[in-house]
Amino acid sequence: MSLSLLSLAALCWGAASPEPTVQCGSENELSPEWKVQHTLIPGDLRDLRVEPVKARVAPEEYSLRMNISWILRADASICFLKATKICVTSHSNSHTFSCVRCNYTEAFQQQTRPLGSKWAFSYTGFPVELNTVYFIGAHNIPPANMDEDGPSLSVNFTSPGCLDHIMKYKKKCIEAGSLWDPNITACKRDEKTVEVNFTTSSLGDRYMALIQSSGLLGLSTVRESKPTRTSVVVPVSGESEGAVVQLTPYFHTCRHDCIRRRGMVGRCLPASLHPSLDSNRRVLGSWLPLLLALLAAAWMLAVGIWLLKQHERTKKASFPANTLLPRAKVLLVYPSEICFQHTVRFFTEFLQHHCRSEVILGKWQKKKIAEMGPVQWLTTQKRAADKVIFLLSNGASPTCNGACGESEDSPWKDSQDLFPLAFTLFCSDLTNQTRLHKYVVVYFREADTEEDYSALNVCAKYHLMKDASALCRELRHIKPPGEAVTSLL
C-alpha cells in the first residue's frame, strides 16, 4: 500500500516537472524586468560558445548562422532564472546590434539535469558574414538592479573566410569556387613537359596552370566554359617531378581573386601495353564463351600436369624460385604539417601501385589506434612492417596551405600527430646496425633533416621523385620474412 503510494507520488512529481527548454524571440529593447527591483536574482552563465552552422534553404543555397550555446551554473539561484538574453554586435564595415531573449519554458526545480549534468541550451539564429568580428554578450533575467553591476558573460567570435569547412557554403564563396573540386592530377611526361588534368567549372571559362618548385617552371592557360575533365600540357624548364602545380581559375564573380588550388607533379605511368584493348573488346565479346571454355580446359590440363610433377618430386620440393614475392609491408609516418590530401595520398598511391607495397597509415586506422593506444599500435605495426618510412617535409614540401586546409579531411585535426611519437619509440633502433635497415627516410626536397630529428640522418635516404626507382627496388627486395623477423626482434 505505502509502496504504491510512493510510486504514485514519484510519477506525479515526474509529470509535474518536464525539463525546461528555451523559446527565443527578438527583443532589441530593454527587458521589462529592468524596470522593477529584484531582491533575488539568478547568477551568471557558466559558459558561452559560438560556432557557425549551415542549413540548406534551397537545393544549392545555404544559410549560415551562429549557433550560440550556453551552460547554466549549478547553484541554488537557478530557481529565480526566467530567461537569458543574448546580444550580438558586429564590427565589420557597418555596426549592427541585435538581441534575442530566450525564455525558459519551465521553472528550474533542480540545479542540474536529472542525470547530473549541467543545464545546457543553444540558440541558432544570428546570420554570419565572412571575416567579421562579433561580440556576443549574455546575461540572465531577471537582471541585477539598475545601479548594480550585473553578472554577464561575453565572448568574441571572428568568423572565418571561404576556406573554412562551414563558411565555404556561403553564396559568395560558392560563386568564388569554394565547392568546385578540380581534382587535379599532374605528371611529368618527359624532361620538357608536364601533363595536368583537372575538372573545369561552369563558373568561368579561363584557367591558368602553373608549375613551380623553387621558381616558376612553366605555365599554360586553358579556355573551357563547360564543366568537363580537361587535359593541358605545360612546357617546363627544369626538373618537374615533385613540383607543385597551382591552378588559378578566373571565375566571373571573383576574376583575379578566386580561390587557387594546388596539386603535385608525379611521374606519368608508362603508356598502356594494350592500346587497342577498347577496339578489341567487341570482338572479344563474341568469342568470350568459347575462350572461357578453352581456358578452363587448359587450366584443368595444367593442374593435372602440375599434380603429377608434384607427386614425382615428393618431399624434395624446395621453395619455388619464381613465385611472386609477397608485397612489402610499409608503415608510413609523417609529421602533421605535411598535407595529407596532396602529399601523403600521392606517396601512398605511388608505393602501392609502383612499388607493390602494402601501406599502413595511422590515418586509416584511427579506431584501432584509439582502442590500442598510439604506443601499442605503433609497436605492433612496426613489428608487422618490413619497412618504416619517415616522410619528411623539410619545411619546403607542399605543406598544408589554405587551399589544402579547406578540405574537410584536413590532417590530424582531431587526432594525435604520430610522427614525434614514432620517432621517439623507434629511436633506439637507429643506433643498432642490424635493426637500422628497417628504417627509410623519404623527402621531397634537398635539405638538412630538422634538428629535432637529426638521428634520422643515419637511415637510408631517398629523394622523391629522383630516387623513386631505387626506393621501389629496395622495397621489392625485402628479405624473406623468416630472416627479417629474426634480425628485427
Give the side-chain half-sphere CA count within 13 A for 376: 6
Rounded to a whole number of angstroms, the CA Rg of the chain reads 32
Written as nine digits, the cell of 318 is 624446395
Question: 289 - beta bridge partners?
Answer: none
Q: Which residue number, 183 or 225, has a Cβ lying nearer to ligand NAG?
A: 183
Total length of the chain: 489
Cβ at position 2, least distance to ligand NAG in Å:
41
Kindly provide the residue ranges of all beta strands, DSSP E only, lying in 201-315, ordered along the sequence.
204-212, 216-223, 229-235, 244-251, 261-267
Which lies closer to ligand NAG via its Cβ, residue 23 or residue 457? Answer: 23
Q: Where are the alpha helices (DSSP H) in 143-276?
A: 171-175
Would you tell me how many other CB atoms lie within 10 Å of the CB of residue 265? 28
Q: Which is nearer to ligand NAG, 154 or 220 (CB)?
A: 154
Measured from each CB, the residue nearest to ligand NAG is 25
Cα→Cα distances 134→95, 125, 297, 332, 364, Å: 10, 14, 77, 42, 38
When the beta carbons of 129 and 429 are compared against ligand NAG, the nearer one is 129
Q: How far apart are the first and last CA of the chain?
A: 72
Locus of grid cell 524596470: 35
Crossing angle, helix 468-476 and helix 345-354, to 10 degrees? 60
In the complex, what is the shortest distance from the CB of residue 199 to ligand NAG, in angstroms, rounded to a whole number? 7
Q: Which residue, chain included where needed, has cell 627479417?
A: 484
Minimum distance from CB of 79 to ligand NAG (Å)?
A: 17
What minimum distance in Å lies between the beta carbon of 480 and ligand NAG?
35
Q: Of 450, 479, 446, which Cα lies nearest the Cα of 462?
A: 446
Burial 469-480 (b: 16+ CB within 10 A, else e): eebbebbeebee
DSSP state of 142: S
CB of 474 to ligand NAG, least distance (A): 25
The least distance separating ligand NAG from the CB of residue 70, rounded to whole angstroms, comes to: 9
**Backbone phi, psi, residue 128, to 5°:** -115, 125
Q: Are strands 244-251 and 216-223 parallel, antiparallel or unpaired?
A: unpaired
Q: Which is nearer to ligand NAG, 124 or 449 (CB)?
A: 124
Cβ proximity to ligand NAG, 175 vs 195, nearer residue: 195
Q: Which is nearer to ligand NAG, 48 or 456 (CB)?
A: 48
Q: Tell me how far, at minimum, the Cβ of 384 lies from ligand NAG, in Å.
A: 29
**What's the maximum distance between 2 C-alpha atoms anywhere in the chain?**
107
Residue number with CB closer to ligand NAG (189 or 363): 189
Q: Under a CB-based contact definition with an 8 Å cutoff, are residues 100 and 136 in contact?
A: no
Nearer to ligand NAG, 234 or 355 (CB): 234
C-beta of 488: minimal distance to ligand NAG in Å?
A: 36
Contact residues: ligand NAG, CB under 6 A? 23-25, 53, 67, 69, 83, 101, 103, 122, 124, 135, 154-156, 181, 183, 185-187, 195, 197, 231
CB of 62 to ligand NAG, least distance (A): 13
